[in-house]
Structure 1
Amino acid sequence: MIQLGMSTSCTFGKPLDTSFKIAKRAGFDGIEIMVSTEAATRSAAAIRALSRKHDLPVLAIHAPVLFFTQFVWGTNPTVKLERSVDLAREVGADVVVVHPPFRWQTTYAQNFLEIIRRLERGSGVALAVENMFPWYVGGNGTRMYAPGINPIEMDCDSITIDFSHAALAGQNCLEMTRDAAHRLRHIHLCDGQAPGSNGKIFDEHLAPGEGGQPVAEALQYLRDTQWSGHVVAEVNTRGAKSETERLRILRRTVEFARRNLGQI
């Protein structure tokens, strides 16, 4: 069974309660919570209360491994993962989304795969490593992650495929979805252009169908192979001029996903 969720990153800057409310109104099955500087995102009690209030389960926790969350739960990356797993278990989520280490996190990078395997097998929660992308400086791609940006090439048990990240890395989300095979646990549903397209070299997280990735075909592949996991919208709605417009974007995303997943 494929569950359709919304990441709280879609409503970046809004309180967690608002994210739950919008996800419910848009028609999602559940929600992925990005652990951030907002206290509620780090509180199992607060999350459970919101889940009950809005009748919306938590599908996944996104560990605080982004650059802007580098000081959330301290600076020890292993502790961040451990606390993310604990939070996931407390709120009923079965996936923790994690990025590969930054290349300057030398010791962590050397032990990363061993750490996530230990945590995953000891908790029953999948630590799904997300595909990343080069950072572009002066028009040139810079290596920022170790052991790399593509978890398909890593010795990990669980994988998250982000379609916008695939675009920025010059990859094809359909091919990546196929190549991940049985290790694919989680999808970040969005779209994007190839690096340099229209002069853009940043992570766009467009609504599905608005970029250059074969998003519909990837979802249809998941449908046809009877894949079971989470498809979580991670769409940038910061340009929405009103909550009505934001809701319209997310409802279109729900309709796009359900149509191509064969759920309508």
Structure 2
Amino acid sequence: MKFGLSTGTFYIYPLRTVFRWARQASFDTVELVVNPEVIARGGAAVRRVAEEEGMPIGSVHPTVVRLPGWWERRGGMERTIPLAMETGAGTMVMHTPRSESLDAGEGLAFRQLVERWQPRLAASGNGLRLAVENKAVRSALDRRFALTPVEQLRAFADRHDLDLVLDTMHAGSAGVDLVYASKVFAGRLAEVHLSDMGGHVPLGNWRLAQDLWSQHRFPGAGKLALEEMVAALAAAGFEGTVVLEINPVAARIWWPAAARRRLDRAMAWLRRAAAGGAGPG
């Protein structure tokens, strides 16, 4: 099992700084979230920066903001996948379509994207594999989408030879047991995006505070059984990557010294969890 850091947590920081912090906190790899710096530099140049800092890029994640031409749901993967190939990453993260059918609309576009790129990647010999992440459930509509159920997502991955990404916060929002989800994904699980959710929110019921604080929390700060899941993965000999994917508030990004301490604390938590006992965040 390897441990990775999502650069998306530190979206506003220079990539070199984030790579260095990840190395200093003893992470094994990073998940590169596409941002304006990534686009401006290009994949090959970003790879060189990562190599200079001694931090390999294990995976690439689409932009989390609607950057023109790069937004995943508007054709942005046609640019993002080639960029990922340049970085040397082994995994390209994708998200399920907001569609009740894979034969029309966004669902059809998603399926056709997969069918178009799978043979290209296989022929390239690059080593990059597509990996689809389970969906968060925030409404009744979300539950009706074709690939929201983890069982349906696994079946789709089997049909198209895709890897899978288990996002713990997304699974928690859907009410899916984490250990169960990891077993459903077993054999195709490339990454776990690890964060907590729920629990006490210090700023009360203010909606913005709820959104910023209660989702993608520091591990152990919420209500998810993260420790049990990580221990189960370790016991099963999981060879993929557990990627820390917490929100900027949880990382204390406004204070670099505090942010670095949070990374050290997170790595300590991950190691204890893998060994069978982590405790609260």
TM-score, structure 1 as length reference: 0.83
What's 1:131 paired with?
Answer: 134
Please list every run of at least 4 consecutive aligned residues from structure 1 whose deviation after the TM superposition is greater than 6 angstroms: none
Instruction: Name the structure 2 match of 1:206.
Output: 217
Q: Please point out which of 90, 95, 98 is paired with 1:102.
A: 98
String of CA shifts for 1:120-159, please: whole Å, max 9, x gaps.
35314221111122335xxxx4439843434541212321
Report deviation, 1:118: 4.3
How far off is 1:42 after superposition? 6.1
User: Structure 2 CA distance, aligned partners of 1:108 and 1:142?
Assistant: 15
| Aligned equivalent of 1:69 | 66
In the alignment, structure 1 residue 242 sits paired with structure 2 residue 255:
yes
Select 2:190's aligned residue among 182, 185, 193. Answer: 185
Identity %: 26
Q: Residue 228 of structure 1 aligns to which amino acid in structure 2?
A: E
Aligned partner letter, 1:23: A
Q: How does 1:83-122 map to 2 (within 5 A)?
A: 83-103=79-99, 107-122=105-120
Partner Cα separation in structure 2 for residue 230 and residue 145 of structure 1? 29
Q: Is the 8 A contact 2:231 2:276 kept in 1?
A: no
Cα deviation, residue 28, structure 1: 0.7
Query: 2:33: which partner in 1?
Result: 34
> CA offsets per residue over residues 159-187 of structure 1, 9 Å max, x none?
11111122222222222111212121111
Q: Quote the offset at 1:88 in angstroms.
A: 2.2
Matched, 1:43 2:42: yes
Q: Counterpart in 1 of 2:124?
A: none
Q: Distance in 1 between matches of 2:228 and 2:59?
A: 24
Deviations 1:60-117 (A, max 9, x none): 00023x4x22524377744x32332222222111101111123499533124234325
CA contact (8 A) 2:98 2:142 kept: no
Distance 2:134 2:67 in 1: 19
Which runs of no fewer than 5 residues in structure 1 stay unpaired? none
Q: Which amino acid aligns with 1:258?
A: R
What is the CA–CA distance in structure 2 between the aligned matches of 1:193 and 1:126, rounded to whole Å? 32
Structure 2: tracts of 5 or more residues without a match = 122-126
Equivalent residue number for residue 7 of structure 1 = 6
Which amino acid in 2 is paired with 1:107? G
CA distance in 2, matches of 1:172, 1:251: 28
Please give the TM-score of this superposition, normalised by the length of structure 2: 0.78
1:171 is matched by which residue type in structure 2? V
Q: Report the count of equivalent residues.
A: 254
Residues 115 and 220 (structure 1 numbering): CA distance in 2 closer, same or farther, change over 3 Å? same
